[in-house]
Amino acid sequence: MPDPNPVFLPVTMTVRDLADKLGLSVTIVVAELLKNGIMASVNEQIDYDTAAIIAADLKRDVAPAPVEAPAEDTTSAPNYLAEDPSADLIARPPVVVVMGHVDHGKTSLLDAVRKTDVAGGEAGGITQSIGAYQVHTNGRPITFIDTPGHEAFTQMRSRGATIADVAILVVAAEEGMKPQTVESLKMIADAKLPYLVALTKVDKPDANPARVKKELAEQNVLAEDYGGKVPFVEISAKTGQGLPDLLESVLLLADVDASKLKVNPQRPAVGTIIESHVDPQQGPLCSALVQTGTLRVGDEIIVGNVWGRVRSMKDDHGKPITIATPSTAVQILGLKAAPQVGDVFRVDAKAAQEMKKKTKSHQIGMHTRTVVGKRTASTAAAEQQEGQPEVQKLFVILKTDTLGSAEAILELLKKIQHPEVAVEIIQRGLGIISDADVLRAEGAKAIVTGFHVPISPKADQLARSKGIVIESFDIIYKLVDAITEKLEAMLKPIEVETVTGVLNILAVFRTEHSFQVVGGKVLSGKMVQGANVRLEHGEKPIGNARIAQLQSNKAATKEVGEGNECGMKLEGASGLVVGDRVSVIQTEQKKRKLSDPIT
């Protein structure tokens, strides 16, 4: 049962404020933060999610402080991106999103375009966090959005923030269409983005661009040489083949509707958050793409229900900068809490000051990020007593490196649908997997799963002693695969029957209450002593029995093969007549997959 009188906490607070609200010494709170891998001084800001996790570890029930809802929707980009036609507009660099199936070369493509060794350092073929990078071709800059899968892109679009001007659909020339390729095409169509197809890995011996073009044509994606309008570029990130043509095609697509690239650099900046997390030393950090206007250090900005002043900015190379022009990606320090990926930011000193005065002491309203409630041992026991739910659940405590990673993982897990099993994230947080996470998992009968976070030695030792599953991954889809495997292990196996021998009855020698003695010829397979059999009259099963004894040529034997005659004593048989059949049945348990048809 939840505490009817929880401690109400704001979205952000200092460590000292948290200690005061919980009625604990600052030393205890700081020590608990350190256990969770967060180094924070008494005057440093932490967000609600972090505070809620620390409070739970310290056996305190907390809840978000109720505040008055904001009067206007500040998360919708179209409200702020409209330009004044009378203003002096200039062309900004086009923004490109790269989409496609995992392992089809998205990261390697970006690496080749940027001429850096990022892909070689990645843990696998899926981008690990959201970022943006700017390159130049023919004297013109192009900004590439790098997303972990497609979830963040979907979230941004659902909030009205159409951040991309052009999409590149990456398809490996040796593998062709995959389910995620079809999903990417749908997203591109929904966003109404002009796009081109990059056929990657054409340097491989088994590459077959013609086959891939045919497969795409079946999805109504017609290449220009097939009479369509979609540009196709054959590239190799390894050799550099086709990269200049790719960039040239991007510029040509972006210039088709050049008016969309016209912005006013003199206006207050508006843009979209593309990454967000809480740094243990610096506090809330976010990466943002400036879409119009110019962002400057010192600007007061508002993002949803979060406000702050830009204290510092870094570009995509990590270098400090003081201004950010349209289509530039920057990392911003100065917000009072970590905003959501996809939220729209804008420079608005008046609105920021009004929010500051209205909410007092940083008690700003909760933004739309969901805080997942805890499941305790008592909750689990109550569910069992009530006989619900019928669906078996895999309870997971999720720890990630960034908020963007967490959102991408949650979106992927939401797609796992099955009437018998489900995954439920009972708590999520940022930073190192600690012994507190293991203890919480023990009480809730959960597993602990991390992404790009270390496991503390104490947590690892505690998990081993208590038999708690604790894992950390560097690749998103491997994390999802591991969760899927655990769900499949929870499915009840099905029994599969295989017929290993058939005998046609030629004579019935004896019939008793509990058995019959018959003779016949083995038509296929073999008869085996002790085997379970199905009795059949024509095509109709009439019962089951067991071969208790087996004879061939009046001698006892353990098995009789195809084409031979034999006699047998069938325990449990009755009513058999000449012409009936005896089928030896071998039954085995077969593990099920989530993708198996539901019967």
Q: Are residues 482 and 504 in the same domain?
A: no
**pTM beyond 0.85, yes or no:** no
Distance CA 355, CA 68 (A): 11
Residue 599 in any domain: the answer is: no
Least confident of 367-376, 476-485, 505-514: 367-376
Domain edge (last residue) among 490, 517, 547? 490
Q: Are residues 562 and 577 in the same domain?
A: yes
Confidence of residue 106 (pLDDT cuts 50, 70, 90): low
Distance CA 287, CA 9 (A): 26
Q: Are residues 224 and 174 in the same domain?
A: yes
Least confident of 82-86, 94-98, 364-368, 452-456: 364-368
Residue 154 in any domain: the answer is: yes
Q: What percent of the chain has pLDDT over 90?
A: 34
Residue 85 in any domain: the answer is: no
Q: Are residues 530 and 576 in the same domain?
A: yes
The reported pLDDT for the residue numbered 104 is: 52
Residue 82 in any domain: the answer is: no
The type of residue at 55 is: A
Question: Angle CA(483)–CA(488)–CA(492) in degrees, nearest 5?
Answer: 150
Distance CA 599, CA 594 (A): 12
Structure tokens at 460: 């690892």
**Residue 146 pLDDT greater than 80, yes or no:** no
Q: Answer whether 144's CB lies under 8 Å from 165's CB.
A: no
Q: Are residues 327 and 397 in the same domain?
A: no
Q: Own/partner pairs for 140-143, CB < 8 Å, 24+ apart?
A: 140/93, 140/251, 141/93, 141/327, 142/93, 142/94, 142/96, 142/247, 142/250, 142/251, 143/93, 143/94, 143/95, 143/96, 143/289, 143/327, 143/328, 143/329
Residue 109 in any domain: the answer is: yes
The reported pLDDT for the residue numbered 74 is: 43
- Where residue 436 sits, what CATH number does that domain have? 3.40.50.10050
Q: Are residues 308 and 252 in the same domain?
A: no
Question: Domain range holding 197?
Answer: 91-263
DSSP string for residues in 287-322: EEEEEESBEETT-EEEETTEEEEEEEEE-TTS-EES
Q: Are residues 259 and 277 in the same domain?
A: no
The type of residue at 233 is: V
Q: Answer whether 173's CB lies under 8 Å from 200's CB.
A: yes
Distances (CA, A) of 220 to 172, 213, 228: 18, 10, 9
The average confidence (pLDDT) of the chain is 81
Confidence of residue 464 (pLDDT cuts 50, 70, 90): very high
Domain edge (last residue) among 263, 289, 323? 263
Residue 448 in any domain: the answer is: yes
Residue 399 in any domain: the answer is: yes
The type of residue at 170 is: V
Domain edge (last residue) among 20, 47, 64? 64
Q: Over range 539-559, report the average pLDDT.
A: 93
Residue 76 in any domain: the answer is: no
Confidence of residue 11 (pLDDT cuts 50, 70, 90): confident
Residue 30 contacts by C-beta under 8 Å, 6 or more apart in sequence? 15, 40, 41, 42
Q: Over range 88-115, report the average pLDDT.
A: 78
Q: Are residues 147 and 25 in the same domain?
A: no
The reported pLDDT for the residue numbered 537 is: 93
By residue count, the chain amounts to 599
- Where residue 118 sits, what CATH number does that domain have? 3.40.50.300
pLDDT in tens, 321-371: 999 999 999 999 988 777 877 788 999 988 888 877 665 433 333 333 333
Q: Are residues 103 and 173 in the same domain?
A: yes
Question: What are the helix (H) ranges across 7-128?
Answer: 15-22, 26-35, 48-57, 78-81, 106-114, 118-121
Structure tokens at 38: 């967060």
Parallel, antiparallel, or unpaired: how do β-strands 232-234 and 421-430 relate? unpaired
Q: Over range 293-299, report the average pLDDT.
A: 95
Q: Over range 278-299, report the average pLDDT.
A: 85
Which residue has better confidence, 511 or 476? 511
Q: Are residues 194 and 330 in the same domain?
A: no
- Where residue 279 sits, what CATH number does that domain have? 2.40.30.10
The reported pLDDT for the residue numbered 296 is: 96
pLDDT in tens, 217-237: 888 888 887 788 899 999 988
The reported pLDDT for the residue numbered 86 is: 61
Question: Angle CA(301)–CA(356)–CA(40) in degrees, nearest 5?
Answer: 80
Most confident of 70-84, 102-116, 401-415, 569-583: 569-583
Distance CA 553, CA 38 (A): 82
**Residue 463 pLDDT greater than 80, yes or no:** yes
DSSP string for residues in 345-412: EEE-HHHHHHHHHHHTTT-PPP-S---PPP--HHHHHHHHHTT--SSEEEEEEEEESSHHHHHHHHHH
pLDDT in tens, 501-537: 999 999 999 999 899 999 999 999 999 999 999 999 9
User: How many domains does the chain contain in total?
Assistant: 5
The reported pLDDT for the residue numbered 79 is: 57
Q: Are residues 257 and 277 in the same domain?
A: no
Q: Are residues 179 and 205 in the same domain?
A: yes
Structure tokens at 305: 């229900």
